[in-house]
Every structure is written in structure tokens, then in C-alpha cells.
Structure 1
Amino acid sequence: MTALRNHLCTMARYHAWATRKLLDEHVAQLPEADYRRDCGLFFKSLHGTLNHLLVGDALLWFPRLAEGVSPKIKLDMEAEPDRPRLRQRLLDAVAVWEPFVAHLSGERLAGELHYTTTQGVPTSLPYAATLAHALNHGTHHRGQITAALTMMGHPSPEIDLVWMLQAERRQQEQQQA
């Protein structure tokens, strides 16, 4: 289980890194009109998509995985209308994953997650695979945001996992020098 836990910790670290990089280096510079513009995403705007990420991370998957509760929420709800507060809540939401994953037991990772879907259907899924989904969910929507930024003529974020791994390697090498 150590290899699986290490991999999931890497994915949690990546989730936080990519979210911070996207928000601070790209979304922060956007004019309000572009930020709120309906650009054809599933949740319409960048704001809507970021709200969905907050709902998924903080209000749905973390409570399911960490607390064993099944919140009754809508996936398209606007959890935070205020842009600066949404940014902070997103950063807070992604920051809890790595410490949480690092302390999961092998037994829990090998077990099942029992929860009720947002449609009210009781469900059981493999815990580790469902945790991987929760951590990877942001990748999908950050990709949508990246495409929307590019379509609007803004620079495309370089937020692939390998970029984080390379930055970490450089940092390790600098600390050893």
C-alpha cells in the first residue's frame, strides 16, 4: 500500500499545485468580463467551473471520503459568488487532500467507500479508485478552463503533472547544492 499511498499523495500535491498555478498565474489576471463570460463550458463560465471545483472538492468528495457523509447538494450550485473568496476557498479545499491521504491506512485504501449519490442512490465503490477520481476531477475541469483561456486569447497554463515533478526536482537539486 505504500506505493499506492505515495502515488495518491503525489496526485494530491499536484491537485493543489495546478490549482494554485492556474488561479494565481492565469485566472487572477483576467478581466471580470472574461472571468464571468459564458464560454460554452459545462458550467458555462470560468467562475461557474471554479465553483463546481469547490463543490466537488470541499462540499462533496472530501466529506464523502474523510467523514463518511453524503451531502445533498447540486453540482452546479454557486457555492461562492465572490471571486476573491472563491479563490481562497479553492486553495483551502485543495490544501487538505495531501495530509488526509498521507494518513490513510492500507486497510482503508483497500476497502470500499459507501455513499449516496447526489441523485439519492446508495453506492459502493473501491475506496482508492474513488479517491483517485476525486483528485483527478480537478484535472478535467482545469483542462476546460485552459481551453477557454486559450479560446479567449489568453496564455495557456502549463499545468501538466510533469511540470510539477520537474519543478520539484529542480528545487531538490538546489537544496542539495
Structure 2
Amino acid sequence: MNLDMLTTIAQYNIWATEKLCTAISQVSEEDLHSNVGLPFKSIFGTLNHLLVGEHFFWYPRFNTQVISKPVQLDSIVETNTQMLLKQLKDKSHLWVDFLNKIDVQLLNGNLSYTTTKGMELTLPYSATLLHVFNHGTHHRGQITAALTSLGYSCPELDLVYMLIEQQKDLQIQS
């Protein structure tokens, strides 16, 4: 995978996170915290899992200048909904910044890290980075399904809709 494609996927991660957070800002606290059968029980728990996974585990693994914080995958690291949504949106931009500074030679190499269970792993760098974004897509899909089942409307989060929006923005600017 090349840097341009990874950057597009990182931009998609920002776009989808912002759209989802806008939709979630309309959801009642009761519905956010209710057990809707997700692997992390609630929408709120799943949002915290996204924050933990992307920004407490994976970002530090790729950005070796940042030390990973020891937390569990199901940790509630942010209890305030508005602050949780803000952190998800703000931190999603870190990935594009990271890719803007990356040594492209790393993309053809491997990433070595220690799992939360203490196991040493070495995996293909680009594929593992792609996993981070795919992981977010997976859980955003779970959250939108839960929102729909609770009677809320959901944004369209398919990548193609971001590409269409970008195309329209380019046409407006010309």
C-alpha cells in the first residue's frame, strides 16, 4: 500500500469519525450507556474502545516517540460524552499528521511491538496500519447499527461518500 492511499484512508477516518460524533451528539445519555449487545456492551463503551485502540495502543506503537498507556481494551478512559467525542475527533487528525511526516521506507517494512498480553509481534507495517483504520470502520458500523435499532438516524459513512464530497468541494473551488 502506498502513502497516498493510506493518507486517503486516514482522511476517511477523520471524516467518518466527525460524522458519527455529530450523530451521537443527538443521542440521549441513557441510550448511549444502555447495553445494546455490542462487544463493549454500549455505544459509549464502544466509543471508549475506539479511543483506547486507536490512540492508547496503536498510535504509540507506530509513533515510537509516544509511550503507550497501560489500559484494558474495555476501559472507560473518558466518562464525559462531550469530551469523549471531542477526543475522538481531535485525535483522529494525529494519523494524517503522522503520515505527513513518515519515512515512506517504513511502509515496506515491519512493525514490532508488544501486545497487551506481553507477546512480542512483528507484522507488516502497512497492513497493520491499515488494520487501525479498518478497526475504526468496523466499530463505527456496529455503532450505527445500534443507533438504528434505537430509532436514531445515522449518517452514511461509506468511503465513496467522502470521495463524492471531496469532488464537490473541488468543483466549488474551481
Aligned partner of 1:29 in structure 2 is: 26
Q: Taking structure 1 as the reference length, what is the TM-score of the superposition?
A: 0.94
CA deviations over 1:15-73 (Å, ceiling 9, x no partner): 0100000111x100011111111100000111000000000111000000111655432
Counting matched residue pairs gives 173
Aligned with residue 12 of structure 2, among 14, 20, 23:
14
Aligned partner of 2:101 in structure 1 is: 103
Q: Taking structure 2 as the reference length, what is the TM-score of the superposition?
A: 0.95
Cα distance in 1 between the residues matched to 2:24 and 2:70:
29
Aligned with residue 173 of structure 1, among 164, 171, 174:
171
CA deviations over 1:108-134 (Å, ceiling 9, x no partner): 111111100111100000111111101
Cα distance in 1 between the residues matched to 2:68 and 2:109:
17
Unaligned residue ranges in structure 2 (runs of 5+): none
Cα distance in 2 between the residues matched to 1:91 and 1:85:
10
Unaligned residue ranges in structure 1 (runs of 5+): none
Cα distance in 1 between the residues matched to 2:69 and 2:115:
9
Aligned partner of 1:81 in structure 2 is: 79
Identity over aligned pairs, percent = 45
Aligned partner of 2:161 in structure 1 is: 163
3-state DSSP class of the match of 2:63? Answer: helix
Aligned partner of 1:63 in structure 2 is: 60
Which shifted more, 59-68 or 115-124? 59-68
Aligned partner of 1:119 in structure 2 is: 117
Structure 1 counterpart of 2:7, one-letter code: C
Shift of 1:167: 0.3
Cα distance in 2 between the residues matched to 1:108 and 1:169:
30
Q: Structure 1 stretches (4+) deviating beyond 6 angstroms? A: none
Aligned residues of 1:70 and 1:117 also touching (Cα < 8 A):
no
CA deviations over 1:79-135 (Å, ceiling 9, x no partner): 101111111111121011112112222211111111001111000001111111012
Cα distance in 1 between the residues matched to 2:104 and 2:165:
29
Cα RMSD for the two superposed structures: 1.3
